[in-house]
Amino acid sequence: MPASPRPPGALHLDDVARLRCPESHGPLSFEGQAPGGWLREGRLVRADGGPPWPVRRGLPWLYRDAQVRGTDRLMRHIYDRLPRLHDPVVKYTLPVFQSGGTEAELRDGYMRRLELAALRPRPDGAHVRILEVSVGAGANIGLLYRDLPPGLQVELWGLDLSAGMIAVARRKLRRQPGHHVRLVAGDAHRLPFPDGCFDRAFHVGGIGGFHDPAAALAELGRVAVPGSPIVVVDERLDPSRSHRLGHRLAFRAITFYDDDPRAPTDELPAAALDVRDEQVSRFYYCLTWRMPAPSAG
């Protein structure tokens, strides 16, 4: 019997070794249906015997709904209700609101900060790993494949709190069979991965709505390989430019959930190095930094 085709965004049994319980930080094992080795239905079992994490239709659910509160719950509700509108709204309204500057120019601006062309095979022979926190509808997946060095063996991982957005991303992956991405339902404040697991880690367009940005930034720093660039992008009205009333009203409309849209430089981990706070369009900043290697002592 031929192996079952991979469901879009599904994890393989081998990928479970890259997961950690977001509560205990211990390893997980899978129990359930995995036709062809691809996780389908079941649960991820904790080594400490605590409550397991469900896997439904190939998607691991690695957060507790009771822990989603405040602006996190509000934004998840919005994204779950209107997931298919997100990408078209960004593509067609952003240039109008900003009086110029396309979505492609914005995305190219922060993709350069990831330094993907500098990636090389890992010395241990394992695949290079890239994580996008708040992967949304997967708008950056094609750009990652575009900018990666040819022939490099890469695992792309995407995590999001919104089931609606993940569903849209999975539909896109169904039309792009060469894009082998692992998708996980999870909370940016408690990433379900081990320390130093990812050669690149980034987040676009949501940290201003997180209830604890400092915790999410710390988690990005924890799971990134020391010395690798970590990139965060979100809304901020360009402080170096003048803005008409229309710009300010449009910006206020898209940042209704945040009283003070800004780059969270003061909430970065204390050990953050090479911090760069740049404006990549009228409405968006790009914050880049690196974490040092652990001290030998």
CA angle 226/200/37 to nearest 5° reads 115
pLDDT at 2: 45
Where are the domains positioned within the chain?
13-59, 71-290
Do the bridges between strand 128-133 and strand 154-160 make them parallel or antiparallel, or are there none, so unpaired? parallel
Q: How far apart are CA 185 and CA 192, in angstroms?
A: 10
Q: How far apart are CA 139 and CA 125, in angstroms?
A: 29
pLDDT at 282: 92
Calculate helix-pair angle for 103-111, 83-98, nearest 10 degrees: 100
Contacts of 293 by beta carbon, 8 Å cutoff, 6+ apart:
226, 227
pLDDT at 1: 38
Digits of tens for pLDDT over the chain (297 positions)?
344 578 899 999 999 999 999 999 999 999 999 999 999 999 999 999 999 999 999 999 999 999 998 999 999 998 888 877 777 767 767 776 776 678 889 999 999 999 999 999 988 888 999 999 999 999 999 999 999 999 999 999 999 999 999 999 999 998 886 678 999 999 999 999 999 999 999 999 999 999 999 999 999 999 999 999 999 999 999 999 999 998 999 889 889 889 889 999 999 999 999 999 999 999 999 999 999 998 755
pLDDT at 92: 64
Instruction: For 40-67, give one letter per residue: b (16+ CB within 10 A) or e.
Output: bebbbbbeeeeebbebeebbbbbbeeee
pTM score of the predicted model: 0.94
Q: Which CATH architecture has domain 71-290?
A: 3-Layer(aba) Sandwich (3.40)
- Give SS3 for 19: coil
Q: How far apart are CA 41 and CA 53, in angstroms?
A: 11
